[in-house]
Amino acid sequence: MRYRKIPDETVRRLPIYLRGLLFSLEQGQVRISSQDLGGFIMIKPWQIRKDFSYFGGFGTRGRGYEITKLIKQIKKILKLDVVRKAALVGVGNLGSAVLAHEDFKTYGFDISAAFDNSPHKIGKKVNNVTIEDTVKLSSLKKRKIDLGIIAVPRKAAQETVDALVKAGIKGILNFSPCFITVPKRVKVITIDFTMDLARLPYYMPKS
């Protein structure tokens, strides 16, 4: 296949394929067709095949895809084939939910540090991770942690981000409901669930 930039939409779907594949592996399957995979995850088979085609031939004509092999390939593309250490900042309800989230492990993430600025929380353990003082964020660089998850109140978001960037973080998952500014080299993905809830009524059949 000749070179072409991978569409963002394809990258967005890769983790979904991964979820579907892990599920069907759990079901004891060995091979799967784009048809069947698409059935699970509600994506059209030709979309799946087209997405994979950007990376080369993953399947076998007439037989489908070998699940374990495909999982390995997608993980490699997404750079999830090595354990990725992440730091959480803000251990409130949301932060605690993130820390307890089993799923992350499956996808290669290890949230090995947690920070908060509340004296009540510092020193406590949540899910085997000891909560540290936010002022110690600068230690992340030598601890080889380059991924940050922030779940702090809106007002604290930008300063937290600034501290993370200074500590050498290269990617941020932002749960704070606001816009944050970072240097171009840092990738931010914001999850603002109010924005999602707010478009639900538009699609709901009226009264």
Partner DNA sequence: CTATGTGAATTTATTCACAGCA
Partner DNA sequence: TGCTGTGAATAAATTCACATAG
Binding site for DNA (CB under 7 A): 1-2, 7-10, 33-35, 44-47, 49-50, 52-53, 56-65
**Calpha distance 175→189 (Å, rounded):** 9
Q: Is 13 helix (H, G, I), strand (E, B) or coil?
A: helix
Q: What residue type is 74 in one-letter code?
A: I
Under rule CB under 8 A, residue 52 binds a copy of itself: no
**Calpha distance 142→203 (Å, rounded):** 48
Of 104, 117, 120, 125, which lies in the binding site for a copy of itself, with binding defined by CB under 8 A? Answer: 104
Of 45, 53, 94, 112, which lies in the binding site for a copy of itself, with binding defined by CB under 8 A? Answer: 94
**Closer by beta carbon to a copy of itself, 136 or else 170:** 170
Under rule CB under 8 A, residue 135 binds a copy of itself: no
Q: Is 54 helix (H, G, I), strand (E, B) or coil?
A: coil
**Calpha distance 74→80 (Å, rounded):** 8
**Calpha distance 108→114 (Å, rounded):** 18
- Residue 204 is encoded by which pair of tokens? 């709901």
Instruction: Say which entry of DNA, a copy of itself, none residue 26 contacts (CB below 5 to 8 A, set by partner kind).
Output: none
Of 44, 136, 143, 187, which lies in the binding site for a copy of itself, with binding defined by CB under 8 A? Answer: 187
What is the bridge-based pairing of β-strands 84-89 and 129-133? unpaired
Residues that bind a copy of itself (CB under 8 A): 11-12, 14-16, 18-19, 40-42, 77-80, 84, 86, 92-94, 96-98, 100-101, 103-104, 106-107, 109, 146-147, 149, 170-173, 175, 177, 179, 185, 187, 189, 191-206
